[in-house]
Chains A and B, each alone.
Chain A
Amino acid sequence: MYEIRIHSRGGQGGVTAAKLLALAAFRDGKHATAFPFYGTERRGAPVVSFVRIDDEPIKVYSQIHEPDLVIVLDTSIMDVVDVLDGLKTDGTVLLNSAHPITGCNGACRYVDLTGIALAENLVVAGSPILNTPVIGALAKMGIVTLPSAEKAIREMFSDERNVKAARAAYEELKI
């Protein structure tokens, strides 16, 4: 079972990113579940979402305490939340950032999802949309296939710019 924890702020699309990722994995023929931890969230508050992907049906409902992958959609959260908490020793981190971040170990990857969203003018209520480009980055990392990522995005969103943003993230992420 591959376990992913997504850190974001309310309104940035972390919860939707988890659903999109589960749908893409499902279209790959895998079993997947996605769920956010709902506190008393409002726009701007730190939110955490979880995704599990497996070849077998998933019966676990508890939160993910030892993730294989941590995704940080807003690196300012790292000042207030220990995003690396419980990360497996061979785990990976994906940061929404144009530059490497000091203090993150060698397993950190980074891609400028915000820049990609702004380049496509994917902005809702003043916030760049990060949930579709991040799926492209995850496809590059082999978590899901690119065709399933694109299929999932088209199932949930009619605006083709979302697919373009995902492809851009796929191209930009260095492996």
Chain B
Amino acid sequence: MLTIATGNKAVAAAVKAAKPGVIAAYPITPQTEIVEQIADYVAGGDLESRYIPVESEHSAMAACIGASVGGVRTFTATSSHGLLYMHEMVHWAAGARLPIVMANVNRALGPGWNIWAEHTDAFSQRDTGWLQVFVGTVQEAYDATLMAFKVAEDERVLLPLMVNLDGFALSHITQSLETVDIGDFLPPYHLPHAIDTENPLGYGPVTGPADYVRFRWDIERSMRDARGVIAEVEREFAERFGRSYGPTEDYRCEDADVIVVAMGTLGKEAEVAIDRLRDAGIKAGSMRLRWFRPFPDLDLAGREVVVIDRDYSFGFGGVVAHAIRSKTGIEPYSVIAGLGGQEVTYNDIADFVRNRRPGTETWFGVSDHV
């Protein structure tokens, strides 16, 4: 069905189609619209599911962990401080190999108190063992959420998956949305190590160093396998529903001398900047990074690279710039822009490209830095 929706409503619509058995959540701006809509689906009988309105995000993830290991598909949504509050359980969900799907509406961290878009919240969960995808349109928020369940629940993966969308910039924008009849796209939830009350087993006992190492390696092996699974699922999604996705969305990259790497809505805005630059005779392209974990192999050889980080790792640099540098050996021009919802237009992005100084870092909107 073709309609219009906000990014939040699109995620909720995808969750309705995926039919999780349990949804546990705690509201937080700018995510609240997602769980509000889902609660409405459940209350109105449009979604047969158990909605658990818990008292905190830590409890939300704990409830999802219990339900997931109990043998049902689970979903939650959070943002910013809510994500950090559940941090201990975020690690646990991955270590326990539970394919929980969570929407994280990217929002800056306080203080100063700020409700607008930034990616530092998600990147702070980088080493938890969750897969992370970042979306750039309302349609993609819907599509990625549907695919998330299939990727996470694949027996070659069995890891939780975080779908990231920019707070307000995407969560609250209204765009066109085509919802689909998913048919048998999502197989029934099957967790090989689900609790079986007829056959009681111990879960999470003390694990000695030798076994612990093997469990950790098993997470990494699944992360590596996830690349292939993601590609399979995205291919199947394209065949069934006609919309194709990959680890990056490349725009006019073929003959580009300089490529802008950005994530989320800034990655879409960058495409407009590329058109302007091309009109001015500058051979630029845009590579919107969709998958952050597992981190994809990027073909940037022989190009200059401008990385826009809507995040920062204090005392080191932009998280994406660092990833690009370590994965490709290229010294990018690192631009820190869009923190806390800072307004960044396509003209600004075009200026980043025009004024690039590879190997250096610039904070957009800050005049007193060296």
Instruction: Decide: B269 and A38 in contact? CB cutoff 8 A.
Output: no
Count of chain B residues with Cβ under 8 Å from any Cβ of A?
A: 23
Instruction: Decide: B173 and A35 in contact? CB cutoff 8 A.
Output: yes
Partner of A61, one of B116, B174, B176, B269: B269
The interface stretch among B20-28, B77-85, B342-350 is B342-350
Quick check: is B169 within 8 A (CB to CB) of the other chain?
yes
Quick check: is A84 within 8 A (CB to CB) of the other chain?
no
Instruction: Decide: B174 and A35 in contact? CB cutoff 8 A.
Output: yes
Which residues of chain A are within 8 angstroms of B268 by Cβ–Cβ distance?
A: 59, 61
Instruction: Decide: A34 and B174 in contact? CB cutoff 8 A.
Output: yes
Instruction: Decide: B4 and A35 in contact? CB cutoff 8 A.
Output: no
Known: A23-B4, A59-B269, A62-B345. A38 touches B173 (CB 8 A): no
Instruction: Decide: A62 and B172 in contact? CB cutoff 8 A.
Output: no
Instruction: Decide: B271 and A59 in contact? CB cutoff 8 A.
Output: yes
Per the bound structure, the CA–CA distance linking A35 and B30 in Å amounts to 13
Quick check: is B265 within 8 A (CB to CB) of the other chain?
yes
Per the bound structure, the CA–CA distance linking A23 and B30 in Å amounts to 22
Quick check: is A161 within 8 A (CB to CB) of the other chain?
no
Partner of A36, one of B172, B265, B343: B172
Quick check: is B115 within 8 A (CB to CB) of the other chain?
yes
Instruction: Decide: B173 and A61 in contact? CB cutoff 8 A.
Output: yes
Instruction: Decide: B174 and A60 in contact? CB cutoff 8 A.
Output: no
Per-residue CB proximity of A17-31 to B under 8 Å, as 1/0? 011001100100001
Q: Chain B nearest CB: distance from A58 CB in Å?
A: 8
Instruction: Decide: B345 and A33 in contact? CB cutoff 8 A.
Output: no
Nearest B-chain residue to A18, judged by Cβ: B174
Nearest A-chain residue to B30, judged by Cβ: A38
Instruction: Decide: A62 and B176 in contact? CB cutoff 8 A.
Output: no
Per the bound structure, the CA–CA distance linking A38 and B117 in Å amounts to 11
- In chain B, positions 245-279 with a C-beta closer than 8 Å to chain A are 265-266, 268-269, 271-272
Which residues of chain A are within 8 angstroms of B149 by Cβ–Cβ distance?
A: none
Partner of A38, one of B168, B266, B346: B168
Nearest A-chain residue to B170, judged by Cβ: A61
Q: Chain A nearest CB: distance from B260 CB in Å?
A: 13
Known: A38-B115, A59-B268, A60-B269. A33 touches B173 (CB 8 A): yes
Quick check: is A154 within 8 A (CB to CB) of the other chain?
no
Instruction: Decide: B343 and A63 in contact? CB cutoff 8 A.
Output: yes
Instruction: Decide: A35 and B172 in contact? CB cutoff 8 A.
Output: yes
Per the bound structure, the CA–CA distance linking A26 and B168 in Å amounts to 21
Instruction: Decide: A62 and B173 in contact? CB cutoff 8 A.
Output: no
Instruction: Decide: B172 and A33 in contact? CB cutoff 8 A.
Output: no
Known: A34-B173, A36-B172, A38-B172. A19 touches B269 (CB 8 A): no
Quick check: is A174 within 8 A (CB to CB) of the other chain?
no
Per the bound structure, the CA–CA distance linking A65 and B4 in Å amounts to 24
Nearest B-chain residue to A37, judged by Cβ: B168
Nearest B-chain residue to A65, judged by Cβ: B345
Per-residue CB proximity of B145-180 to A under 8 Å, as 1/0? 000000000000000000000101110111110000
Instruction: Decide: B4 and A19 in contact? CB cutoff 8 A.
Output: yes
Instruction: Decide: B343 and A62 in contact? CB cutoff 8 A.
Output: yes
Q: Chain B nearest CB: distance from A20 CB in Å?
A: 10
Per-residue CB proximity of A115-136 to B under 8 Å, as 1/0? 0000000000000000000000
Partner of A22, one of B30, B169, B174, B271: B174
Known: A60-B269, A62-B344, A65-B345. A31 touches B176 (CB 8 A): yes
Report which A residues bind B (CB closer than 8 A): 18-19, 22-23, 26, 31-36, 38, 58-63, 65
13 residue pairs from A and B, CB less than 8 Å apart:
A18-B174, A19-B4, A22-B4, A23-B4, A26-B176, A32-B4, A35-B168, A35-B169, A38-B30, A59-B272, A60-B272, A61-B169, A62-B345
